[in-house]
Structure 1
Amino acid sequence: MDHLVLEVGLAILLLALVGLLSAKLRFSVIPFYILIGMAVGPHAPKLGVFDFRFIESGPFIEFLGRIGVLFLLFYLGLEFSVGRLIKSGRSIAVGGTIYIAINFTLGLAYGFLTGFPLNEVLIMAGITTISSSAIVAKVLIDLKRTANPETEMILGIIMFEDVFLAVYISILSGLVLSGATSLGGVLLSALYALGFMLLFLIIGRRVVPLLNKALNIRSNELFLLVIFGFLFLVAGFSETIHVAEAIGALLVGLVLAETEHMKRIEHLILPFRDFFGALFFFSFGLTIVPSELGGAVWLSLGAVVITLIGNFAAGMLAGRAAGLSAKASSNIGLTIVSRGEFSIIMANLGKAGGLLAIIQPFAALYVLILAILGPLLTKESKHVFNALNKVFKLDRRDRRKRRQPVPSDNS
């Protein structure tokens, strides 16, 4: 700890350098953050006389990474609104249900087929089900697809995933962290966590007028102190009652999203989200033992394959159910295939619960592969669709519609 400031400074500089590299390559920055953490972490292999393992203050950087998780989920809470989900209509509810059902079922089946115990299977299913909203949003903006017809469905599925994530982490935190072993204990822990969430949201929405007045603070310094205090207090309290601290952060974001200060909070919190979020991925890389990744290669590759299949099928079904074209529907599945922050959060939950050590390298390889493949598949979605369409005739329904006569104005 004697050189803490120097270590953190070097870590931030490395993150900046790999961030610039990813921008030059026009690629997602998340894999670079994880890889550089692996390269300089305490488990990195020594290359001859060169030893890049300069991080000796891992616990402190890991704590900064935990703050990054809080900011990531808090910001997502600000972006998400229960009212917006309700107004999005039946199509998003149907599409989100299809997406979660297919990917979660495949994740469960894969976990059981590979012979893992129940808790590990549930963690693996969570890792493989939830896409990375950070990568998806960045790809949509970079490729200028925000106005595409399928983008509303993509964003709707992401919102639906947020709700599923909140409920699922609450259930798993009761099962994995509290050590409940009986079915009754699991259900009681889940109801306890869900009850806390529901109560917090109900009370939170009722006190929105009071929050509007309380947050009417001119000074940005004092404003942020109040927001940060609220965020960390609720997140910390959540952890004490066996609800993941990340869910506490999400709940705070959901409540504050209903206030008239939401835009100001969002604007001020964005730099903290990006800075601490980068440290989160970096700290995850520090925990990975590269020598252990070899044991998770086939497990990760198998999960990648079922994720690609599940995402494409779910995107096609969700898009077609919403009346989108085959091409637009295929874009849904190819765009939301990336995995990132939420998969890592699930892996960390498994680590905190003392589950099998292979979960960490599995999640690391899985996220790395899909964080690279996801943006690439999205960018080349037109060519991917054309190739698959030649084999499976995905646009047959669209061609039948085009052949139908259009009623004249005089009829």
Structure 2
Amino acid sequence: MHGEFLLGAGAVLAALALSGLLFDRLRQSVIPAFILLGMAIRPLDLDEHLVQVLATTGVVLLLFFMGLEFSVGALLRDRRRIVRNGGIDLLVCFPAGALMGAWVGGGWTGALLMGGAFYVSSSAIIAKSTIELRRAADPETEVALGVLVFEDLFMALFLALLSGAVLTPEPSAGAALWGMAKAVGFFAAIVGLALYARPLLDRAFDLDSDDLFLLLAGGVVMLLSWGALAAGLSEAIGAFLAGLLLAETEHKERAERLFGPLQGLFAAVFFLGFGLSLDPSTFGAVWPYALVLAVLGIALKVLTGMWIGRRDGLPRRNALSLGLTLVPRGEFSILLAGIAVTAGAQAVGATIALLVLALSLVGTVGLRLAPEIARRVYPRKAPRSLEERGFSPALAAFDAPQPERPSDPS
């Protein structure tokens, strides 16, 4: 039995590495590679309990890392700009996705899930691509990060709403409001701890041994994830807040360094587990919906990004590049697709899966080509002559190119 486990685990990890390497060589996000691999090996007899445990650990560490990227102080300092830009993105994209979810046929549950999956961009894909393409210093990158911050914070609260509206045996408006109240209380407690107990946290995590630091931080992540579950919320909320808590200490960089390899491993297994949960036979009925959603998703994100960029004072080229940057969907959308499958909305889950596969691929290409596309759409114009600007022909003659004089033969 142990031999079969080792053989299966080794084969799966090797397959994950090879599929990720292939997509990386193609300069694509590795997320679709892991999902497609899960769908491909679905007919095999894998240990479902093991995959579920690893996938749960993966999503916990993935959300922990997302929380680790935030700074409560920075959020409070730039809150008006973040809320303004993020609010535009939310008010444009979420209702459109919700309407499409109702069209797919998932009812109000499907509308909520599709609205969230359609709205939220992939922080993982965008951040990874921005670093690889060396575009961190571009003017639109700072604006994009502010939008992503708002999206991720909104999605954390949205998951709490779903805890009362979708994940309970008897969903109701009261349960949804109670779920939101518990989430807000949970958030307030952790944020208050991060802001006012920083010296205590700094001392608690001031350990010489990296091994002990890893154990303590991992214990905090798992305990807060359990606390969120005990409060009737998603474990993802607890993991996100654990990252937010540790990000306020002086040990943030150490946590990123030590948890980085683990996050990559378990996140890969999370996407693999999602692929295993999908039934490819359901794609035939939903691919037209996914195609319409993908086209609409690209158009709305590009237009919304341009709107946000221009309001933020970016030139038209950079505003268009911002819109192209926000196109990819990924981890949160996958999380919502998994909730849809669990809630029995198979069509919604399959549609979201196809949407993520399409937009993670197209979005990665768009990110890479964004500067070139922006240059072609908005080419630099040559300066207009004086006559074109309304001056008299006599005065404009001074601005005209002068013919070359023949050289003096002497």
| 2:283 maps to 1:257 | no
What is the identity, as a one-letter code, of the residue corresponding to 2:308?
A
For residues 39 and 116 of structure 1, the distance between their equivalents in structure 2, rounded to whole angstroms, comes to 26
What is the identity, as a one-letter code, of the residue corresponding to 1:30?
I
Q: Cα deviation per residue 1:229-287 (whole Å; 9 max; x = unaligned)?
A: 11111101211222110110000110111111111111101111111111111111111
Pairwise mapping of residues 314-353 of structure 1 onto structure 2 (< 5 A)? 314-352=304-342
Report if aligned partners of 1:193, 1:242 keep a CA contact under 8 Å in 2: no
For residues 129 and 15 of structure 2, the distance between their equivalents in structure 1, rounded to whole angstroms, comes to 23
What is the identity, as a one-letter code, of the residue corresponding to 1:307?
G
Please, what TM-score do these two structures have when normalized by structure 2? 0.88
Report if aligned partners of 2:101, 2:113 keep a CA contact under 8 Å in 1: no
Pairwise mapping of residues 280-359 of structure 1 onto structure 2 (< 5 A)? 280-352=270-342, 354-359=343-348
For residues 349 and 49 of structure 2, the distance between their equivalents in structure 1, rounded to whole angstroms, comes to 17
Deviates more, 1:248-257 or 1:292-301: 292-301
Give how far 1:180 is off. 4.8
What is the identity, as a one-letter code, of the residue corresponding to 1:82?
V
Give the greater-gyration-radius structure (CA).
Answer: 2
Give how far 1:383 is off. 4.8
Report if aligned partners of 2:318, 2:374 keep a CA contact under 8 Å in 1: no
The match for 2:87 is 97
How many pairs align? Answer: 382
Pairwise mapping of residues 4-83 of structure 1 onto structure 2 (< 5 A)? 4-42=5-43, 53=44, 55-83=45-73
Taking a change above 3 Å as real, the CA distance of residues 373 and 188 of structure 1, as seen in their structure-2 partners, is same
Pairwise mapping of residues 233-272 of structure 1 onto structure 2 (< 5 A)? 233-272=223-262
What is the identity, as a one-letter code, of the residue corresponding to 2:302?
F
Give how far 1:360 is off. 2.3
The match for 1:132 is 122
For residues 93 and 190 of structure 1, the distance between their equivalents in structure 2, rounded to whole angstroms, comes to 19
Please, what TM-score do these two structures have when normalized by structure 1? 0.88
What is the identity, as a one-letter code, of the residue corresponding to 1:224?
L
For residues 204 and 370 of structure 2, the distance between their equivalents in structure 1, rounded to whole angstroms, comes to 48
Among 353, 360, 364, the alignment partner of 1:364 is 353
Deviates more, 1:367-376 or 1:20-29: 20-29
The match for 1:375 is 364
Give how far 1:175 is off. 1.1
For residues 180 and 165 of structure 1, the distance between their equivalents in structure 2, rounded to whole angstroms, comes to 22
For residues 376 and 252 of structure 2, the distance between their equivalents in structure 1, rounded to whole angstroms, comes to 44
Q: Cα deviation per residue 1:170-219 (whole Å; 9 max; x = unaligned)?
A: 11112111245443332122212222222232234322221111111111
The match for 1:198 is 188
Give how far 1:311 is off. 0.2
Q: Cα deviation per residue 1:355-375 (whole Å; 9 max; x = unaligned)?
A: 311122112211110110001
Taking a change above 3 Å as real, the CA distance of residues 192 and 60 of structure 1, as seen in their structure-2 partners, is same
What is the identity, as a one-letter code, of the residue corresponding to 1:252?
A
What is the identity, as a one-letter code, of the residue corresponding to 1:67?
T
The match for 1:183 is 173
Percent of aligned positions that are identical? 38
Report if aligned partners of 1:351, 1:360 keep a CA contact under 8 Å in 2: yes
SS in 2 for 1:26: coil
Among 177, 189, 208, the alignment partner of 1:218 is 208
Report if aligned partners of 2:165, 2:173 keep a CA contact under 8 Å in 1: no
Give how far 1:319 is off. 0.2
Taking a change above 3 Å as real, the CA distance of residues 157 and 220 of structure 1, as seen in their structure-2 partners, is same
For residues 355 and 197 of structure 1, the distance between their equivalents in structure 2, rounded to whole angstroms, comes to 29
For residues 183 and 340 of structure 1, the distance between their equivalents in structure 2, rounded to whole angstroms, comes to 28
For residues 162 and 182 of structure 1, the distance between their equivalents in structure 2, rounded to whole angstroms, comes to 25
The match for 2:406 is none
Give how far 1:377 is off. 1.4
Report if aligned partners of 1:175, 1:190 keep a CA contact under 8 Å in 2: no
For residues 187 and 32 of structure 1, the distance between their equivalents in structure 2, rounded to whole angstroms, comes to 38
Superposition CA RMSD, Å: 2.0
Gaps of 5+ in 1: 43-52, 404-411
Give how far 1:139 is off. 1.4
Q: Cα deviation per residue 1:337-383 (whole Å; 9 max; x = unaligned)?
A: 1011110111122333x231112211221111011000111222245
Gaps of 5+ in 2: 390-410
